[in-house]
A and B are shown apart, each in its own frame.
Chain A
Amino acid sequence: MKILEIKNLSLKSKKSNVLLLNNINLTLNKGETLGIVGESGSGKTLTGLSVTGLLDSGIFEVISGEVIYSNQNLLACPEEYLRSIRTKKISMIFQEPMLSLNPVQTIKKQLDEVIKLHVTKIKKDIDSLSKEIIIKTGLEDVDKILSSYPHMLSGGQRQRVMIAIALVCKPDILIADEPTTALDVTLQLQILDLLNNFKIENSMSMILVSHDLDLIKNYSDHIIILNNGVIVEDGLTKDVFEKPKHEYTKKLILSKPNKIITKNPGDKKILETKNLSCRFPLNNPFFIKNKKYFTALSNVNIHVNIGETVGIVGESGSGKTTLAMAIMQLLNYDGNIIFDNQNLSMLSNKDVRKYRNNFQIVFQDPFSSLSPRLNILEILSEGLVAFNKDIKYNELLDICASLLSEVGLSNDMLLRYPHQFSGGQRQRIAIARALSMKPKLIIFDEPTSALDVIVQKNILELIVSLQEKYSLSYCFISHDLKVIKSISHRIYVIKDSEIVETNSTENILNYPKSDYTKNLIKSSFLS
Chain B
Amino acid sequence: MNKYDIYWAKFLKNKRNKYSLFIFGFIFILSLFAEVLSNDKPIIMSIDSKLYFPIIMTYSDKHFNGHFDTEADYKDNFMTQKLEMKSNWAIFPLNPHSYDSINLNKSTPNPAPPSQYNYLGTDDRGRDVLARLLYGFRLSVLFAFALTAIGILIGLFFGALQGYYAGKVDLYLQRFIEVWGSMPELYLLIIFSSLFEPSVLLLIILLSLFGWMGLSDYVRAEFLKGRNMEYVIAARTLGLSDTKIILKHILPNSMVSVITFLPFRISGAILVLTSLDFLGLGVPPDTPSLGELLAQGKENIEAWWLSISTFLVLTGTLLSLIFIGEGIRESLDSRSE
A386-B238, A386-B240 known; A363+B249 contact, CB < 8 A: no
Cα(A365)–Cα(B233), bound, Å: 13
Q: List 10 A-B contacts (CB under 8 A).
A: A328-B233, A330-B233, A353-B239, A353-B241, A356-B238, A360-B237, A361-B237, A370-B231, A372-B334, A386-B240
Q: Are A328 and B237 interface neighbours, CB within 8 A?
A: yes
Cα(A419)–Cα(B248), bound, Å: 18
A247: min CB distance to chain B, Å: 33
**Residues on the B chain within 8 Å of A354, using CB:** 239
Specify which of B231, B237, B249 is in contact with A330 (CB 8 Å cutoff).
B237
Specify which of B230, B231, B244 is in contact with A386 (CB 8 Å cutoff).
B244
A358: min CB distance to chain B, Å: 10
Q: Are A419 and B239 interface neighbours, CB within 8 A?
A: no
Residue B235 at the chain A interface, CB threshold 8 Å: yes
**Residues on the A chain within 8 Å of B252, using CB:** 371, 373-374
Q: Are B231 and A369 interface neighbours, CB within 8 A?
A: yes
Q: Are B238 and A382 interface neighbours, CB within 8 A?
A: yes
Q: Are B239 and A387 interface neighbours, CB within 8 A?
A: yes
Q: Interface on A for B, CB 8 Å cutoff?
A: 286, 325, 328, 330, 353-354, 356-357, 359-361, 363-365, 368-374, 382-383, 386-387, 417, 419, 430, 433, 437
Chain A's closest residue to B242 (CB) is: A349
Residue B195 at the chain A interface, CB threshold 8 Å: no
A286-B171, A365-B230, A371-B231 known; A383+B334 contact, CB < 8 A: no
**Residues on the A chain within 8 Å of B229, using CB:** 368, 371
**Residues on the B chain within 8 Å of A364, using CB:** 230
**Majority DSSP secondary structure for residues of B touching A:** helix
- Additional A-B contacts beyond A328-B233, A370-B231, A373-B252 (15; CB < 8 A): A286-B171, A328-B237, A353-B241, A354-B239, A357-B238, A357-B239, A361-B233, A368-B230, A369-B230, A372-B335, A382-B238, A382-B240, A383-B239, A386-B244, A433-B238
Q: Are B235 and A382 interface neighbours, CB within 8 A?
A: yes
Chain A's closest residue to B252 (CB) is: A373
Residue B104 at the chain A interface, CB threshold 8 Å: no
* Contact residues, B208-241 vs A (CB, 8 A): 229-241
B230: min CB distance to chain A, Å: 4
Cα(A433)–Cα(B237), bound, Å: 11
**Residues on the B chain within 8 Å of A356, using CB:** 237-239
Q: Are A433 and B234 interface neighbours, CB within 8 A?
A: yes
Residue B253 at the chain A interface, CB threshold 8 Å: yes
**Residues on the B chain within 8 Å of A433, using CB:** 234, 238
**Residues on the A chain within 8 Å of B232, using CB:** 371
B49: min CB distance to chain A, Å: 63
B243-275 vs A, Cβ < 8 Å mask (1 yes, 0 no): 010001100110000000000000000000000
**Residues on the A chain within 8 Å of B238, using CB:** 356-357, 360, 382-383, 386, 433, 437
**Residues on the A chain within 8 Å of B334, using CB:** 372-373, 417, 419
Cα(A54)–Cα(B171), bound, Å: 46
Chain A's closest residue to B256 (CB) is: A373
**Residues on the B chain within 8 Å of A372, using CB:** 253, 334-335
Chain A's closest residue to B335 (CB) is: A419
Cα(A369)–Cα(B238), bound, Å: 13
A389: min CB distance to chain B, Å: 11
Chain A's closest residue to B229 (CB) is: A368
B217: min CB distance to chain A, Å: 20
Chain A's closest residue to B239 (CB) is: A356
B3: min CB distance to chain A, Å: 8
Q: Are A330 and B253 interface neighbours, CB within 8 A?
A: no
**Residues on the A chain within 8 Å of B234, using CB:** 361, 363, 369, 430, 433
Chain A's closest residue to B255 (CB) is: A373
Cα(A433)–Cα(B236), bound, Å: 12
The 5 A-B residue pairs with the shortest CB-CB distance, nearest first, are A383-B238, A369-B230, A356-B239, A371-B231, A363-B230
B242: min CB distance to chain A, Å: 10
Cα(A340)–Cα(B238), bound, Å: 18
**Residues on the A chain within 8 Å of B237, using CB:** 328, 330, 356, 359-361
Chain A's closest residue to B3 (CB) is: A375
**Residues on the B chain within 8 Å of A386, using CB:** 238-241, 244
Cα(A370)–Cα(B229), bound, Å: 9
